A and B are shown apart, each in its own frame.
Chain A
Amino acid sequence: MKSVNGVLSVKSLVLAILSVLPLVAFAQSDDDVSILTKPTNFVELGLGNVSSDSYNFGQYNGLGKSGIFGIGSLGVQGGDAYGQGPGTRRWSIAATNLGTDIRAVDATIRDQGHWMFGLDFAQQHHDIADFWTPLQGSMGGNVFTMPEAFGTVNTRRPSTAIPYGTQVLTPTQVGYFHKVNVHTDRYNTGVTFGYNFNPKWNVQLNWKHIEQSGAKLISSGTDENNTSAGATLAGYSAGGERIQMLMNPTDYTTDNIDFALNWAGTKAFFTAGYFGSRFVDNYSSVSFPNPFDTGTAPNGSLLGAPYPVNALSTPPSNDFNQVNFSGGYNLTPTTHLVGGYSYGRNTQNMGYVNQDQMAPGGLPVNSLHGLVITTHADVKLTNQTTKDLSLSAGIKYNEHDNQTQAYTYTFLDLGGEAQTSFSIPLSYKTTEGTLDGDYRITSGQRLHFGYEYKDTRRGCDNAVPVDSATGIPVGADVSATNTGYYQLVGVLGCVAVPKEELNKFVVNYRANASDALNFNAGYAYSDRNSTVNPAFYSPLQANSEGFENYNYQAFFDGSRRQQMLKGGVNFQASDKLNLSMDMRGTKDEYYDSVLGVQQGKSGSVNLDAAYQISEKTSASVYANWQYRSRDMVSTSGRNSVGTSGLTGWSNNLIDKGSAFGFNLKHDGLMHGKLDLKVDASYSLDTTRYNTQSYTTAAIPGVTCATAPRNSGYNCGSTPNISSELLRAALTANYHIDKRSSVAAGYIFQKLNSNDYYYNFYQLGSTGTTTMPTNQPSPSYTENVVFVAYRYSFM
């Protein structure tokens, strides 16, 4: 009965609105000038239908569930400043997607030149995955339990070669798996205010409040140490590094405030601002059970005690407060100076969780007292003494100074072994200088040239504690090889690349060969030279499992030579036909990286054509091709201080994409009452990895099959990761009269996804220590129809 009343009330509201609207409309003039100078208001109501459930189709559009959905939108504006009126006040209310969970509403009122006030709300729904789990607990919550009768999963390798572990769950265990649609919802509420004190001074304030609920998927390793006495007595032997997927809650609140005081004079302007951001995570941890057993009991054996409970931390609540200043001054009518400065403090002091996973005495403090100071300064001088030449020179400085105190933490790893790590709050700063010039060679030709220098420094405010006798970090679990690693240099640093210098040169040429033909071309060359610290300390490699091979260089801070070439042409073949083409290619070489990424290439080509077939008919087509590759080498000898005598392998990534689209629009059919629009697009993206063994001088002739610890499964190509998307949409808009129209349409969308990622989590196909999730491929075929009535009025 309640729902019937609800429906009636909605109907009543709609009827009430529709009954009033014609009165409003008829009270207004709608001659040709008024139509142009006054806003057209509208109300739109309708229905649509989605043919089938698909988390991927509905990823962001709110149409993830099959069945009927509502269409509702609204746009109403008014005030005495419309229609060439004498006033300065305007207001508006706009609402979209009211029938789905991506609805948005905003309202604004302003007295132009004096003040404005706005409110807005938007919901963002993000469908992430359909996911099967035996864990009990609500999506969005932070406590998960396992039904007691699920029993254990024995991951001990049997003596004979048969599937085991999570590959052969019992029917009872499989019966506990249930489907969860994992998604997040964001509710964004905004307030905007502006006030003009006078024509020179004004203030602006924006506040955005974001409430997020739901969950994302996260994986988890289990803790061997975390067993209860009861479980131990029952013969349960917990397994480390056993994997379960969890629904990681996103119960977040974010508040962002932007305030600015602006002044603008004839020759100068200035802004003083404040940006504040507060992030609150309403959970500090996620707890989950460990059903994995490395003993001999078969799958499904019941524990004599509740499951050991494990916990993950969640993102910590934090604050960011920043003051900003920027301004500009016209030194002369042709020489301008602009600059800015900002100072920010990012703090975080959330209480530590997982304290039961610490070794005795291993927790030096109960929270981080984290503090990062960010500083930015910039200044730029531009000059255009003549129309033919403009010049600019600028300097920028950015610093990320992590002043957080560092401590030594001794904890139990996933295997239950005590480990000691020293925290490394990373600091870095960049100084960048640019020189640019733009020269007009002739009225139709321009040449741009630029130079950039960038200096990057990294370091830590806190020195790593080192044993003075051995030169080894205190508490580090070192083998003889590791000892050699640390002793490569006299002073132990905390980063692999403490210094980078980049020099970049750019030249671009643009030409208008005629009114109808113009083209451009450009080339850029840059060289990033990195100073490498061969023996740096990182918490991730504080034990013997973690050491990188000497000479293994991360791509993002290794020395790199980069070249870019681009070009484009636009041809207005006639008043009706426009053609364009552009292309771009890059090449990266990591010339100092013995191991790691060696080189990368990318390229793209775009073709476009737009044709105005008649006054009422237009069409356009586009095509895009993209190509990207990356080559990398690694070796088989971990923890080595050299590469001699090692066998290794190469890995090549090839990423290709192609996309085609077609658009046709025809207005004025059926005596001017019907407009038609057709959109169609097709895209195919593929990613593939290929691994091959390579031979070092010390061990010639090694192949994938013969390389130590390699097998046929280690070499060769992965299956292609491909996404093929076809979309076609037909929309018809029929104008019943000046005020009423009906829009109807059909959308066909099909995704063929072939992705080996999903194989790994299917029941029976997982690794033996990974709980299946049976996540389905995102492929779908969707048919969507819709019809909506729009009433317009002035």
Chain B
Amino acid sequence: MHLTKKLILGATLILASWTVPALAGNPPIQLPDLGSNQAALHQSTAETARRALADDAKCTRCHDENESKPILSIYQTPHGVKGDARTPTCQSCHGTSEKHLAGDKTGKGIPPPDVMFNKHDYPMSDAGDRTGVCLTCHKGTQRTHWEGSKHQTNGLACNDCHKVHNAVDPVRSKETQAAVCETCHKDRKADLRKISHHPVGEGQVACSDCHNPHGSTGPFLLTKATVNETCTTCHAEKRGPFLWEHQPVAEDCTNCHTPHGSNISPLLKSRPPFLCAECHDGPHNSQSAFGPNVGGLQSTIAGFAASGGRAPNPSSSGGGRACLNCHVMVHGSNSPAGAYLHR
């Protein structure tokens, strides 16, 4: 054998020795092998369902319709489609729980199942164990960045938000999702009820339209890599590219907007001209400050005369839309005569 072939063979064997153990490693909990359970795949759906229900029966003979929580409602969910060979049984998620199934052998009560998702008669399992069960099947796609994400490092597990036994998981319904998120994000709960808000409470926008709570590469767990990419999914008219750009807009919508809610419409952090003044010194009238004069006509006609005709006239640069009375294209302009964002 030539030396080259020997080297190639050697390298192949080394690579294989690295790769095979990695690929063959055991998952933390033994679920039905979704990737390679060919025997299950080749069964009829009826046979698959029969076997799965027989497995479930180990648990449902005790945990039946009389439970205080509607655990049998899981049969209305994707986890209850027993004809699908990938569908878990009770033990797929709760562990084989052999001691629990064996009953009270010691007189000290029935030992807990291997994995407890809620604090009930037994202590709740560690968040990592609870999440690990779900990630065994739900890997990749939306969950790619779960590990190291904000929610993971703050000790949350999947079932802290998801109710997998419920016929309808509240966090997966646009109408009820926000209430789940607001359980922890209480400032956002107040924000979403301010006079200017995204229609989340009205059930037309869900938190998950913008955020991926499982982790993402974007800031604030946004679904896209940047703020602007996320916003322009719906607000595509702001995407440009424009001939005349406005730097804070081109970089990050949240420089001016606070997306959950604001006392200043539309979802602004502050009211022009003061918002604009956080970057611009107000070139036209920078020789005079904006103060109460932005509030509109505030003087009697006598006061008007006494001031020489100036005092009661609110400045068009400061009143109402203020700077935006003329600089109307703050998101950018595609008019060749729009360098000052006037047109």
Please state if A685 and B263 are interface contacts (CB–CB under 8 Å): yes
A361 sits at the interface (CB 8 A): no
Chain A residue with the shortest CB-CB distance to B187: A604
Is A564 in contact with chain B by the CB < 8 A criterion?
no
Evaluate contact between A632 and B278: CB separation under 8 angstroms: yes
Q: How many angstroms between the C-alpha atoms of A751 and B81 in the bound complex?
A: 48
Q: Determine the distance from Cα of A387 to Cα of B331 in the docked complex, in whole angstroms.
A: 49
Chain B residues 13 to 69 lying within 8 A of chain A, measured CB to CB, are: 22-28, 34-37, 41, 45-46, 49-50, 53, 64-65
B226–A398 CB distance below 8 A: yes
Does B248 lie within 8 Å of A112, measured CB to CB? no
Q: Are A313 and B333 in contact, with the CB atoms below 8 A?
A: yes
| B304 x A638 contact (CB < 8 A) | no
Asked if B279 contacts A413 (CB within 8 A), the reply is: no
Neighbour of B46 across the interface among A86, A243, A638, A711, CB < 8 A: A86
| Contact yes or no, B240 A370, CB < 8 A | yes
Distance A400 CA – B234 CA, assembled complex (angstroms): 19
Q: Is the CB of B291 within 8 A of A630?
A: no
Q: Are A778 and B195 in contact (CB under 8 A)?
A: yes
Contact A350 B204 (CB under 8 A): no
Do residues B82 and A86 form an inter-chain contact, with CB atoms below 8 A? yes
- A651 and B274 contact, CB distance less than 8 A: yes
Q: Say yes or no: is B110 at the interface (Cβ < 8 Å to chain A).
A: no
Per-residue CB contact flags for chain A residues 669-705 toward chain B (1 = under 8 Å, else 0) read 0000000000001010111011101000000000010
B334 touches A368 (CB 8 A): yes
Given contacts A86-B46, A318-B240, contact A409 B187 (CB under 8 A): no
Given known contacts A624-B189, A635-B286, A636-B288, is B245 in contact with A425 (CB within 8 Å)?
Answer: yes
Given contacts A279-B236, A767-B315, contact A354 B277 (CB under 8 A): no
- Interface residue B12 (Cβ < 8 Å from any Cβ of A): no
B272-322 residues with Cβ-Cβ distance < 8 A to A are 274, 277-284, 286-298, 301, 304-305, 307-311, 313-316, 319-321
Q: Given A264-B139, A267-B22, A313-B329, does the pair A541, B283 have CB atoms closer than 8 Å?
A: yes
Within 8 A of B (CB), among A368-406: 368, 370-372, 374, 376, 378, 380, 382, 384, 387, 390, 392, 394, 396, 398, 400, 402, 404
Docked complex Cα distance between A404 and B334 (Å): 13
A704 contact set on B, CB distance < 8 A? 289, 291
* From A102, A200, A267, A394, residue with most partner B Cβ within 10 Å: A267
Cα distance, A370 to B264, chains bound together (Å)? 33
Contacts of B203 in A (CB 8 A): 96
Contact A555 to B311, CB < 8 A, known contacts A313-B334, A685-B195: no
- List the A side residues contacting B23 at CB < 8 Å: 265-268
Q: Is A712 at the interface (CB under 8 A from chain B)? A: yes
Are the C-beta atoms of B326 and A241 separated by less than 8 Å?
A: yes
Residues of B within 8 A of A96 (CB): 175, 203
* Contacting residues, chain B, for A162 (C-beta < 8 A): 301, 304-305, 309
A370 proximity list for chain B (CB < 8 A): 240-243
Asked whether B101 is an interface residue with its Cβ less than 8 Å from the other chain, the reply is no
Interface check A483, CB cutoff 8 A: no
Cβ of B244 within 8 Å of any chain A Cβ, yes or no, is: yes
Interface 9-residue window, one of A29-37, A146-154, A464-472, A737-745: A29-37
C-alpha spacing A789/B38, complex, angstroms: 50
The complex places the Cα of A483 from the Cα of B147 at a distance, in Å, of: 55
Asked if A530 is an interface residue, CB under 8 A from chain B, the answer is no
Residues of A within 8 A of B290 (CB): 651, 691, 714
Alpha-carbon separation in the docked complex, A649 to B250 (Å): 30
A384 & B128 in contact (Cβ 8 Å cutoff): yes
Min Cβ gap A435→B in Å is 10
Which residues of B sit under 8 angstroms from A348, Cβ to Cβ?
240-242, 334
Name which of B35, B53, B76, B263 has the most chain A CB atoms within 10 A of its CB: B263
Chain B residues contacting A634 (CB-CB under 8 Å) are 277, 281-282, 286, 289
A88 touches B45 (CB 8 A): yes
B contact residues around A241 at 8 Å (CB): 316, 326
Once the chains are docked, how many angstroms separate the CA of A271 from the CA of B143?
Answer: 12
Q: If the complex has contacts A548-B280, A714-B289, are A163 and B320 also in contact, measured as CB distance less than 8 A? A: no
A39 and B167 within 8 A (CB): yes
Asked if A556 CB lies within 8 Å of chain B CBs, one says: yes
CB distance from B128 to the nearest CB of A (A): 7
CB distance from A691 to the nearest CB of B (A): 4
The segment out of A6-14, A43-51, A228-236, A754-762 that lies at the interface is A754-762
**Is B103 located at the chain interface by the 8 A CB criterion?**
no
Residues of B close to A731: CB separation below 8 A: none
* Interface contact A540-B308, CB-CB below 8 Å: no
Q: Does B83 contact A (CB under 8 A)?
A: yes
In chain B between 204 and 247, which residues have their CB closer than 8 angstroms to a CB of chain A?
A: 204, 217, 225-226, 229, 232-234, 236-245, 247
Question: What 1/0 mask marks residues of chain B from 320 to 339 whose CB sits below 8 Å from any chain A CB?
Answer: 11001110110101111111
Q: Name the one of B26, B46, B72, B333 contacting A33, with C-beta atoms under 8 angstroms.
A: B72
Is A107's CB within 8 Å of the partner chain B? no
A292-327 contact mask (Cβ, 8 Å, vs B): 1 or 0:
000000000000000000011101101010000011
User: Is A185 interfacial (CB 8 A cutoff)?
Assistant: no
Q: Which residue of B lies closest to A338 (CB)?
A: B144
Whether a CB of chain B sits under 8 angstroms from the CB of A562 is: no
A331 touches B204 (CB 8 A): no
Q: Is the CB of A715 within 8 A of B289?
A: yes
Question: Known: A376-B217, A392-B148, A636-B287. Contact between A312 and B343, CB under 8 A?
Answer: yes
Chain B residues 155 to 199 lying within 8 A of chain A, measured CB to CB, are 155, 167, 175, 186-187, 189-190, 193-195, 199
The answer, among B245, B270, B277, B316, for a CB contact under 8 Å with A424, is B245
A626 pairs with B187, CB closer than 8 A: yes
CB distance from B156 to the nearest CB of A (A): 11
Bound Cα distance from A725 to B201, whole angstroms: 15
B98 at interface by CB-CB < 8 Å: no
Binds B, one of A18-26, A130-138, A171-179, A652-660: A652-660
A91-119 contact mask (Cβ, 8 Å, vs B): 1 or 0: 00000100000100000000011000000
Tell me whether B204 and A84 are in contact (CB under 8 A): no
Q: What would be 24 A-B contacts, judged by CB atoms less than 8 Å apart?
A: A37-B75, A39-B76, A84-B49, A160-B305, A199-B35, A265-B35, A281-B237, A333-B28, A382-B148, A387-B126, A409-B336, A409-B339, A412-B337, A428-B251, A446-B155, A554-B248, A606-B187, A634-B289, A636-B287, A651-B290, A714-B288, A719-B292, A765-B296, A766-B314
Give me the interface of B with A, judged by CB distance under 8 Å. Answer: 22-28, 34-37, 41, 45-46, 49-50, 53, 64-65, 70, 72-73, 75-76, 78, 80-87, 119, 123, 126, 128, 139-141, 144-145, 147-148, 153-155, 167, 175, 186-187, 189-190, 193-195, 199, 202-204, 217, 225-226, 229, 232-234, 236-245, 247-248, 250-252, 255, 263-264, 270-271, 274, 277-284, 286-298, 301, 304-305, 307-311, 313-316, 319-321, 324-326, 328-329, 331, 333-343
